[in-house]
Structure 1
Amino acid sequence: MHVLFTRPIDDSKDLILKFKSLGHIVSSIPVISIKKKEYSKIDFSSFKGIIFTSSNAIKFLDIKLLDKNIKCFCVGNATELLAKEKGFQNIFSAEGNVNNLKEIILQNFKSSEGKLLYISGETITFELDKFLISEGLNVKRVINYSSDPIEKFNEILIDDLKNNVPDIVYIYSQNSAISFKNLIKNYNLQNHWMNTNLMCISEKTSSVLNDIKWKKIFLFNPGEEEYLLYKI
């Protein structure tokens, strides 16, 4: 099958290699760019737990003064892997599902333990901090990166996309969906997707692209990409 990934290349490279090793044709057209945002100095000693809903949140966080034995809650496998590489010792992972993540946090962190630090991007699909606060936890959210749409693409890539329409497209965020939809409209690709399966990380994400005619739309959690190949 021909698979298209739309995340920044650093976030997709392991999956690209994996899918190629399985004999699939793989294309990569990143539709967003990730940029670091400046944030106020953090007194890490004030927190007894830390939450990451993206590996980018770890990449752009200065953790030299952070106790790596702190309870570390990660949304999925890629985030967990990077947390381990950075030296975190006490990791709880939700395997890619923010709904599972909130339950894991509630099961493993009590309000009596102290404050939680939530590191995230500027745009989030679920307001995890507000949910946890409503459950009685003390949470501070710090934004340390943004996801900016890419508006111009290499014409050779676009021509190749027109001539070799993917069987599967993976979309990982609402921002990515918006940017991918703009790509489709700006390059007159609206009628190319009737035999393509769209894989989206959430209903909010898929709703952006609902007016495009797809073969089928699936929802998935990061880490399930290979498994989904066998559902088609």
Structure 2
Amino acid sequence: MHILLTRPIEDCSEMIVKFQSLDHKVSHLPLINIQKVQHEVINSRDYGGLIFTSSNAVKNLNAENLNKKLICFCVGSATEKKARNLGFQNTISAEGNVSNLKELILQNYELKETPLLYISGEIITTDLDQQLLKEGYAVKRIINYKVNHTETFDENFVNELKQNMPDIVYVYSQNSASSFLNFIKIYQTENLWMNTNLMCIGEKTSSILNEIKWKKIFLFNPGEEEFLLYKI
């Protein structure tokens, strides 16, 4: 099977090795790159817990002086793993869903004056901080990274892709979906994806690519990539 992965290489290198070990052909088309954003110094004593809705928020965190015993609410297992690698000891994972993450916070963090710190990218798909504020929580949001869209692509890669279209493509965010749609239109491949299965995280991500005709569209959570191979 031919699989196209679209995340930055540091986020999918393990998956490339895994799929190749299963005798699949893997192509890599990074659609975005992550740029760290400088932010104010965080004083751990001001917060009772941290919220991460992406592993990029953890990777770009200046964590040297943070209290590693703070509870960390993580959107999924990959994000939780990054947090634990940074030394955070008290982590909880919502298994890839922001709605589940909100419920996890409501169930495990008492409504009190000590604020939660939500660390995120410049653009978020769900305004989790605003939702928690409506529930009566004190939440502060800090932006520590932004997403840049890939604007140039290797012509040889594009030509090879046209000759051997993938059976599956994984798209992980609305930003990536927008970049992917742009890629498709730049290289006029709109009619070449009819035998490709599109795997997207969330309906908002898939809706951006609905104008392209796909074989099938599947929604998934991070960690389910290999499982999806057996659904098509």
Fold shared by both chains (TM-score > 0.5): yes
Contact 2:195 2:214 in 1 (8 A): yes
State the distance in 2 between where 1:169 and 1:109 align: 37
3-state DSSP class of the match of 1:217?
strand
In the other structure, the counterpart of 1:130 is 130
Gaps of 5+ in 1: none
Q: Which amino acid aligns with 2:154?
A: N
State the distance in 1 between where 2:20 and 2:166 align: 14
In the other structure, the counterpart of 1:145 is 145
Q: Which amino acid aligns with 1:59?
A: K
Give CA deviations for 1:96-119 in whole Å, capped at 9, x if unaligned: 111111111111001226210000
Shift of 1:152: 0.8
Q: Which amino acid aligns with 1:147?
A: V
In the other structure, the counterpart of 1:173 is 173
State the distance in 2 between where 1:225 and 1:101 align: 20
Alignment of 1:84 with 2:84, yes or no, is yes
Q: TM-score, normalised by structure 1?
A: 0.98
Deviates more, 1:174-183 or 1:33-42: 33-42
Contact 1:48 1:113 in 2 (8 A): no
3-state DSSP class of the match of 1:191?
helix
State the distance in 2 between where 1:22 and 1:119 align: 36
State the distance in 1 between where 2:160 and 2:35 align: 28
In the other structure, the counterpart of 1:210 is 210
Gaps of 5+ in 2: none
Contact 2:42 2:66 in 1 (8 A): no
Matched pairs, number: 232
Alignment of 1:108-119 (within 5 A): 108-112=108-112, 114-119=114-119
In the other structure, the counterpart of 2:121 is 121
Shift of 1:95: 1.2
Q: Which amino acid aligns with 1:138?
A: A
Q: Which amino acid aligns with 1:62?
A: N
In the other structure, the counterpart of 1:47 is 47
Q: Which amino acid aligns with 1:32?
A: I
State the distance in 2 between where 1:174 and 1:199 align: 13
Alignment of 1:194 with 2:205, yes or no, is no
Shift of 1:59: 1.1
Deviates more, 1:140-149 or 1:104-113: 104-113
Q: TM-score, normalised by structure 2?
A: 0.98
3-state DSSP class of the match of 1:41?
coil
State the distance in 2 between where 1:211 and 1:69 align: 47
Identity of aligned residues (%): 61
